[in-house]
């Protein structure tokens, strides 16, 4: 079936939803305000396939920017089903990746970005050294430089014009620290992740020819999760789409903006959708959650947005579990009582269908320890995970492990997908067809000879690192930090807490079917599960103690995001003497609705 036939066939499903169909039929700039479970990813991918087929002539294409690598992988999978693979014509990735690969790397020298020769992305250790030196030069004293990192990052991302009085006068100490930090990075021949969009925005503002070069390659810009992407991306959109002529198709939800601490500003999406030259479409049907969960989610948000469960949706159930004692005791109750009752009520439920969400990673430690005591395998998606789930290299290695543990037989994943992702990871070192063929040949031989799930993980990783990865890393400026993550994990597999881990167990981290999902509420964004257990929802945790008005609003949105991950059952666990104000409100309003 041709690509055109694939998206036309898929588009027939959109006709039944007036909002989705309006987005699909849009002709100019379009913003889709999409509530939870509203089918926004399906709408975005089918619309993108249509625009590539009908509106853009090859070799021109489209750039699709999203919040993180997890979202990018989901979009890639959906587009692959429509016959579209990432490549020269379609960019799919984060705003950092777009900035680096489409603007900074190809144009740094000619656009006079002030970068040293052979610069690359700093590792965490290199970034730490640069901050220490900058701190000593500007702030001084006996404080810990790392304590300034978070605030420094917010300052960099919030005030884009370094020539403005706002930059110099809002916080002179921070302005001086940022400038010294970036100078120290350059002295090391490095840039960091915050540099990528900042350098790209400045270059686009300074060089009209660069704007035209990006437009020539990508006449269409698609943005997913717009509310999370911050001022730098918004400045790019304003310039490329409303000055140069790129066509914009953006999707987002102001109510799901939960990353204020990284520089997200939900009002930017609202401002965009309010423009006279932008068509705004709202998606209000929730295809994910049971009807009672949809109703209760409105109480969780504290606003009636008019969302409705899709026709034929199951009812869904919300359970409240007040607990006594410490979080360790709450976690024991969770696995002694709550989870077994769920499993009895829902026969056929797999562990991977259950997610346990909490406000902070340290609360998840109590859950992880209790899960181990009660014999439940888990996958964590927080700062205490085995390794960052956002790491492209580690996720690629997970897929390679799955292939070696039976995927070669079942076709899940297919080898050509491993090869394609590998080419994207190590593309800088694979510039010629002979190098690409040699990479694929060596990868196949290495994995084929190690098709044994009982192999010690440290052996498998060390051999792949030696044979496949290490020869390529020196030529790859974008994966230095990820290579450091791999080296640290291999050390843990040799002498640390993962020393008994097998290849099969590592592969299981990738598919997750036999593991309960443990995640912070923030890291659960964009995901869905049959059963969600929100754990540790106490006043002082969500929201935190003595919150500002804006902090309360963001905490409520975070509560709402967790609430709307659940399809069938939602469980809320909290200390009975100090429930979160959001929990008490939902409980009260549900009780009123029954009367």
Question: Residue ranges for the binding site for ATP?
Answer: 34-41
Name residues whose C-beta falls within 8 Å of residue 485's C-beta, 6 or more positions apart in sequence. 387, 388, 391, 393, 394
Please give the helix or strand (H or E) that residue 405 lies within, else none.
none
For 502-551, give the DSSP string.
Answer: BHHHHHHHHH-TTSEEEEETTTTTT--EEEEEE---BTBBTTBSS--HHH
Q: For residues 567 and 576, what is the distance between their CA atoms, to the nearest angstrom? A: 26
Measured in residues, the chain has a length of: 595
Is residue 223 helix, strand or coil?
A: strand
Look up residue 166 and give its two tokens.
């706002």
User: In terms of C-beta density within 10 A (0-12 exposed, 13-18 middle, 19 or more buried), how is residue 37 classed?
Assistant: buried
Handedness of CA 274, 275, 276, 277 (dihedral sign): negative
Phi/psi for 578 (5° steps) reads -145, 60
**281: closest CA among 289, 273, 290?**
273
Look up residue 378 and give its two tokens.
């888990």
Please give the helix or strand (H or E) that residue 279 lies within, else none.
strand 279-283
With beta carbons less than 8 A apart as the criterion, state whether 402 and 387 touch.
Answer: no
3-class secondary structure for 323-352? ECCCHHHHHHHHHHHHHHHHHHHCCCCCHH
**199: closest CA among 266, 100, 65?**
100
Q: For residues 200 and 127, what is the distance between their CA atoms, to the nearest angstrom? A: 20
Look up residue 140 and give its two tokens.
């001084």
User: In terms of C-beta density within 10 A (0-12 exposed, 13-18 middle, 19 or more buried), how is residue 18 classed?
Assistant: middle
Q: Which residues are annotated as a binding site?
A: 34-41
């Amino acid at each position: 079936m041709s690509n055109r036939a694939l998206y036309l066939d898929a588009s027939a499903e959109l006709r039944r939803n007036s909002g989705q169909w309006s987005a699909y039929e849009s002709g100019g700039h379009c913003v889709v305000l999409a509530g939870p479970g509203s089918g926004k990813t399906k709408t975005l991918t089918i619309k993108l396939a249509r625009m590539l087929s009908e509106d853009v002539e090859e070799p021109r294409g489209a750039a699709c920017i999203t919040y993180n690598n997890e979202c990018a992988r989901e979009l890639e999978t959906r587009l692959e089903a429509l016959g579209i693979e990432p490549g020269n014509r379609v960019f799919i990735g984060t705003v950092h990746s777009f900035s680096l690969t489409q603007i900074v790397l190809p144009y740094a020298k000619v656009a006079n970005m002030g970068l040293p020769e052979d610069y690359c992305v700093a590792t965490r250790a290199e970034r730490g050294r640069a901050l220490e030196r900058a701190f000593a030069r500007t702030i001084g004293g006996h404080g810990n430089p790392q304590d300034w990192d978070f605030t420094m990052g917010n300052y960099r991302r919030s005030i884009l014009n370094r020539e403005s009085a706002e930059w110099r006068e809002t916080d002179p100490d921070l302005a001086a620290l940022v400038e010294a930090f970036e100078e120290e990075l350059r002295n090391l021949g490095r840039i960091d992740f915050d540099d990528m969009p900042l350098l790209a925005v400045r270059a686009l503002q300074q060089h009209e020819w660069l704007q035209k070069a990006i437009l020539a390659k990508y006449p269409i810009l698609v943005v997913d999760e717009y509310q999370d992407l911050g001022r730098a991306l918004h400045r790019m959109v304003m310039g490329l789409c409303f000055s140069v002529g790129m066509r914009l198709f953006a999707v987002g939800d102001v109510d799901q903006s939960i990353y204020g601490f990284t520089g997200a500003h939900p009002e930017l999406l609202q401002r965009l959708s309010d423009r006279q030259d932008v068509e705004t479409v709202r998606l209000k049907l929730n295809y994910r959650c049971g009807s009672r969960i949809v109703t209760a989610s409105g109480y969780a948000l504290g606003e009636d947005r008019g969302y409705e469960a899709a026709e034929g949706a199951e009812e869904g159930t919300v359970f409240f579990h007040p607990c006594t004692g410490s979080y360790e005791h709450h976690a024991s109750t969770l696995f002694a009582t709550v989870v077994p009752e769920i499993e009895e009520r829902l026969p056929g439920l797999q562990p991977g269908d259950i997610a346990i969400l909490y406000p902070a990673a340290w609360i998840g430690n109590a859950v992880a320890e209790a899960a181990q005591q009660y014999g439940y395998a888990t996958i964590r998606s927080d700062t205490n995970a085995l390794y960052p789930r956002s790491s492209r290299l580690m996720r690629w290695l997970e897929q390679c492990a799955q292939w070696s543990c039976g995927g070669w037989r079942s076709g899940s994943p297919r080898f050509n997908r491993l090869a394609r992702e590998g080419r994207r990871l190590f593309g800088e070192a694979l510039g010629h067809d002979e190098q690409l063929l040699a990479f694929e040949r060596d990868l196949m031989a290495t994995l084929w000879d190690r098709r044994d799930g009982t192999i010690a993980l440290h052996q498998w990783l060390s051999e792949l690192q030696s044979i496949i990865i290490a020869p390529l890393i020196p030529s790859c400026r974008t994966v230095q930090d990820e290579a450091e993550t791999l080296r640290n994990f291999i050390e843990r597999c040799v002498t640390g807490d993962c020393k008994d881990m097998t290849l099969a167990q590592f592969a299981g981290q990738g598919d997750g079917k036999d593991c309960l999902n443990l995640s912070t509420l923030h890291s659960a964004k964009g995901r869905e599960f049959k059963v969600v257990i929100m754990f540790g929802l106490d006043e002082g945790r969500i929201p935190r103690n003595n919150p500002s008005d804006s902090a309360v609003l963001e905490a409520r949105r975070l509560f709402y995001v967790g609430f709307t991950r659940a399809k069938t059952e939602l469980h809320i666990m909290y200390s009975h003497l100090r429930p979160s104000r959001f929990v008490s409100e939902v409980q009260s309003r549900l009780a009123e609705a029954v009367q």
